[in-house]
Structure 1
Amino acid sequence: MAVKLTERQQQILELIRSEITRTGFPPTRAEIARALGFKSANAAEDHLKALARKGAIELTPGASRGIRLTDASPVATAPAPTLIEQASSALSQLLVPLVGRVAAGNPILAAEHVEREIGIEPSLFNQTPDYLLRVRGLSMRDAGILDGDLLAVKKSPDARNGQIIVARIGDEVTVKRFARAGKHIELLPENPDFEPIIVTAADEFSIEGIAVGLIRNTPLH
């Protein structure tokens, strides 16, 4: 049965879908409030809870970007693709390596780290990713990045303040938010249970890439 939404709920759902398509991440409550002219993030939260009750989205408690579209989310209908269109779509997919656990000291894209190649639609991301990295742990939970998710990464040796990056510190690889503070760099988690990592000139540090999107790899319940 189709989910019936109010006009405002439909606007919020389209905003969520648009942001996921554009950036790979859902918007925060504050971003929804700003975009739709609400006086506070609490108003956005009320509408999100209503959407969750109707089964259009799922919410992750305590995560600012913990919004997940469900199979019940209403979408505009379109004619079924022809066999030629299906074949064209398959050929247009980009094959990118899926990187699992990274062994200490080895390059991320070393052959032993690549589990398989996955076909993705390039239009899903505003920048074409070079690889997908399987996320380990919950240090970026409040950015909507959960354990088991596939982080789409564009290789880059540099980053701007606020970007989510894949970084190497010594022999370890981590996903954190990048912040330059004076003469040192801070790698910030998005979970209060984790401490920031302070990088100084004495540390072996490099940026492996910038996050350009996310693919949720866990089944909906």
Structure 2
Amino acid sequence: MPKTLYKRQREVLEFIKQYIQANQSSPTLQQIADHFGLSSLATVHAHIKRLEKKGYLIKTKNQERGLVLTDPSVSLFFREISEIPLRGNCQPGGKIQTTSTSQTIPVPIEIIGNTAALALRCSSSIAAPVGAQKGDLLFFIETSDITDNAVCLAHYLDAPNKLFWGTIVQDSTSSSGLFALGVHKQQTIPLHELTITHRLALMQRAY
């Protein structure tokens, strides 16, 4: 159920809806600031964060016009959403602490695709891929296609229910490549001993 919006939050959301209807794309943060006569983008950021936290929109990382509305009652502005299950937390050393909760994270299908996916949360800055921070959400999609330096999930051939996370790396001593656990790559496993199940497709910054 959508959470209550304060007056200015409703005004910002309505402006975004109207802008998308007229322009087929979302406004930039600067355009929102200009519309409301705000001198600081920090104020706009605060409104967007609250709207996202309350479930009315998603701000796509590294996109100037990356505001995506999630309210299905507004058909002109609604984009199909995929509910991605939150499976646990990334821990140091490539470990994953699984959770039994049924929490899901809404992500537009156009961003994550129709491929089966799961989400993990970074438990700390030392348990996060490069560029991620404590609390960030990591979205992984199922794949058997792997590339160097890709952040992936994997399991041993004889233990399919125990996933861990790490990075694909090449090594002159291994013809198949290596899987480096966690961030610091202090422990590696030959790829031929593993099954790669997912690769990192999207990061969502924590607020």
TM-score of the aligned structures, taking structure 1 as reference length = 0.46
TM-score of the aligned structures, taking structure 2 as reference length = 0.48
Q: If each structure's strand is expressed as a fraction of its own residues, which one has the higher value?
A: 2
